[in-house]
């Protein structure tokens, strides 16, 4: 088992920048990341989707090379896979034709460890993680929680200096995730954990506060940067009901939503003025019309104003679970934030209180504040026949987003535009078509009331 020397510098990035090739040159994902990971600490990389936290983790693990800047392990620059790290992924990534024992032995086998030695080490890791008795089982025989335990055992058996975890609990049900998270931290505190540090990627604020000694919050516009670092000075096991715990969650939440300075609201985190918004600097939050409408109605039923933390708690959710809907309502001009309270605007109140047909009219007026929806609408109006292939918009977005992000952006834009009856989408030819009734002026600013 690895000897723990607290404070020793294990991993460091200096000026780390990472870009990927896009249709129009380099697509920046991370910029100017300075980070240290020391022995004896759990570091959480926290941020919304698109903030680059998983990319940063992979750079630390040496799985992805830096575009510029340096990544070092024990003061030695990485030129390939980091020999001092092991990874646990969100998906279990087990080989289905191998038993639990054989899956756990894979890393040792790759290192050339002899059969007898790796078998014994694997048995110890399996026992440590609570899977004793399942050595001969195949992944298909295991529950999701058990399969993830195999993933932990496979990573821990090589006794890495740093255990890397990329949202390891997000694919599990709530109770299983809570149990596994608790057991993991008990092992860490007990001194039986065969690793010297942990780096955890998560989008869950409470999970970060529960597990980490240090929380690194990443911002995502226009690319990933470190927005703030929080030192977590709370004794373990941590009490969710303690005032200090709740206060830290509130402070981290304010940073993630950009309200730590001058009360800015989530959709305007980067201070982009309405007339300067573009699909690149104002991406659509991943919120469906049903989702954002549901949140607006909940706020309306609380007299148009509610505390977000209390609302999330009442719903049995984490605050960050409803952040996309909050961002969407802000982008559409339906809400503002006052302190910790989400407040409906006059337009938002009318939207939440209207019947279906009237709410669609209000939404159609507001949705043209969303740059991508406006781009699709204007492009269709200017194109003869009012049709365009989705590939046209994919190419435009590819200049600024990864392929996964492009798909997510277009899915949201399709949902919003369909509800507003601005355009339709045919999945077979992958084609957008202007709504047949849309014969208004061509500047993309006309409302819906003139059509009914």
Query: Do the beta carbons of residue 43 and residue 66 sit within 8 Å?
Result: no
Burial class (CB in 10 A: 0-12, 13-18, 19+), 240: exposed
User: 145 exposed, middle or buried (CB, 10 Å; 0-12, 13-18, 19+)?
Assistant: middle
Q: Among 72-81, 316-325, 378-387, name the one with the lowest average pLDDT.
A: 316-325
217, 254 contact by CB (below 8 A)? no
Q: Which two tokens stand for residue 203?
A: 């989008």
Look at the alpha carbons of 169, 173, 177, 178 in this order and tell me if their dihedral is positive or negative: positive
In the block, residue with structure tokens 């469906």 = 288
pLDDT of 148 above 80: yes
pLDDT of residue 274: 67
Mean pLDDT of the chain: 83
Q: Which 3-state string (H, E, C) describes the chain?
A: CCCCCCCCEEEEEEEEEEEEEECCEEEEEEEEEEEEEECCCEEEEECCCCCCHHHHHHHHCCCCCCCEEEEEECCEECCCCCCCEEEECCCCCCCCCCCHHHHHHHHHHHCCCCHHHHHHHHHHHHHHCCCCCCCCCCHHHCCHHHHHHHHHHHHHCCCCCEEEEECCCCCCCHHHHHHHHHHHHHHHHHCCCCCCEEEEEECCHHHHHHHCCEEEEEECCCCEEEEEEEECCCCCCCCCCCHHHHHHHHHHHHHHCCCCCCCCCHHHCCCCCHHHCCCCCCCCCCCCHHHHHHHHHHHHCCCCEEEHHHHHHHCCCCHHHCHHHHHHHHHCCCEEEECCEEEECHHHHHHHHCCHHHHHHHHHHHHCCCHHHHHHHHHHHHCCCCEEEHHHHHHHHCCCCCHHHHHHHHHHHHHHHHHCCCEEEECCCCEEEECCCCCCCCCCCCCCHHHC
The predicted structure's pLDDT at residue 161: 92
| 103 phi, psi to nearest 5 deg | -65, -40
Q: Write the class of the CATH domain 284-353.
A: mainly alpha
| 388 phi and psi angles, rounded to 5 deg | -150, 145
**pLDDT in the model for residue 30:** 87
pLDDT above 50 for 270: no
Residue for token pair 């000897």:
3
Least confident of 23-37, 235-249, 289-303, 332-346: 23-37
CA 259/CA 252 separation, integer angstroms: 10
**Better-scored residue on pLDDT, 236 or 110:** 236
Burial zone of 28 (CB within 10 Å; 0-12 exposed, 13-18 middle, 19+ buried): middle
Q: pLDDT: is 210 or 307 the higher one? A: 210
More confident site: 82 or 224: 82
Residue 170, pLDDT score: 78
pLDDT at 438: 56
Mean pLDDT of 111-122: 85
Query: What is the pLDDT at residue 275?
Result: 65
CA distances from 79 to 64, 70, 85, 158, 241 (A): 10, 10, 14, 20, 45
Task: Round to whole Å and give the CA distance between 96 and 141.
Answer: 10
Q: pLDDT band for position 344 (50/70/90)?
A: very high
- Range of weakest confidence among 30-39, 213-222, 282-291, 313-322: 313-322
User: What is the CATH architecture of 9-256?
Assistant: 3-Layer(aba) Sandwich (3.40)
| CA pair distance 418, 44, nearest whole angstrom | 38
């Amino acid at each position: 088992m690895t000897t723990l020397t607290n404070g020793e510098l294990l991993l460091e990035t200096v000026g780390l920048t990472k870009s990927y090739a896009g249709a129009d040159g380099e697509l920046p994902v991370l910029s100017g990341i300075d980070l240290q990971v020391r022995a004896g600490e759990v570091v959480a990389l926290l941020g919304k989707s698109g903030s680059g936290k998983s990319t940063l983790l992979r750079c630390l693990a040496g799985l992805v090379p830096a575009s510029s800047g340096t990544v070092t392990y024990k003061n030695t620059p990485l030129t390939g896979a980091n020999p001092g790290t092991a990874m646990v992924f969100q998906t279990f990534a087990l080989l289905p034709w191998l038993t639990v024992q054989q899956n756990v032995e894979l890393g040792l086998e790759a290192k050339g460890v002899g059969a007898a030695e790796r078998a014994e080490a694997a048995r110890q890791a399996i026992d440590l993680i609570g899977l004793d008795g399942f050595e001969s089982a195949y992944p298909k025989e295991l529950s999701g929680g058990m399969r993830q335990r195999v993933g932990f055992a496979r990573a821990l058996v090589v006794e890495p200096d740093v255990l890397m975890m990329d949202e390891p609990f997000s694919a599990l049900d709530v109770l299983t995730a809570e149990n596994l998270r608790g057991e993991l931290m008990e092992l860490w505190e007990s001194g039986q954990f065969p690793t010297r540090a942990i780096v955890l990627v998560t989008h869950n604020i409470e999970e970060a506060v529960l597990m980490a000694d240090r929380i690194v919050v990443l911002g995502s516009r226009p690319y990933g940067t470190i927005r703030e670092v929080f030192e977590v000075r709370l004794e373990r096991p941590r009490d969710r009901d303690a005032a200090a715990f709740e206060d830290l969650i509130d402070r981290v939440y304010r940073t993630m939503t950009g309200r730590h300075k001058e009360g800015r609201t989530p959709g305007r985190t980067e201070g982009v003025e309405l007339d300067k918004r573009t699909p690149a600097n104002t991406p659509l939050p991943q919120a469906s019309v049903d989702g954002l409408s549901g949140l607006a109605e909940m706020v309306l039923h609380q007299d148009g104003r509610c505390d977000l933390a209390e609302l999330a708690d009442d719903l049995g959710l984490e605050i960050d679970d409803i952040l996309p809907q909050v961002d969407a309502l802000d982008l559409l001009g339906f809400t503002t934030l006052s302190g910790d309270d989400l407040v409906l605007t006059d337009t938002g109140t009318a939207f939440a209180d209207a019947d279906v047909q009237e709410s669609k009219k209000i939404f159609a007026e507001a949705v043209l504040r969303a740059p991508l929806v406006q781009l699709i609408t204007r492009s269709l109006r200017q194109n003869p026949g009012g049709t365009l292939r989705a590939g046209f918009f994919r190419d435009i977005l590819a200049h600024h987003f990864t392929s996964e992000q492009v798909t997510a952006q277009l899915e949201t834009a399709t949902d919003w535009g369909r509800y507003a009856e601005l355009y339709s989408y045919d999945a077979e030819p992958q084609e957008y078509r202007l709504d047949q009734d849309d014969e208004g002026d061509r500047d993309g600013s006309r409302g819906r009331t003139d059509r009914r």
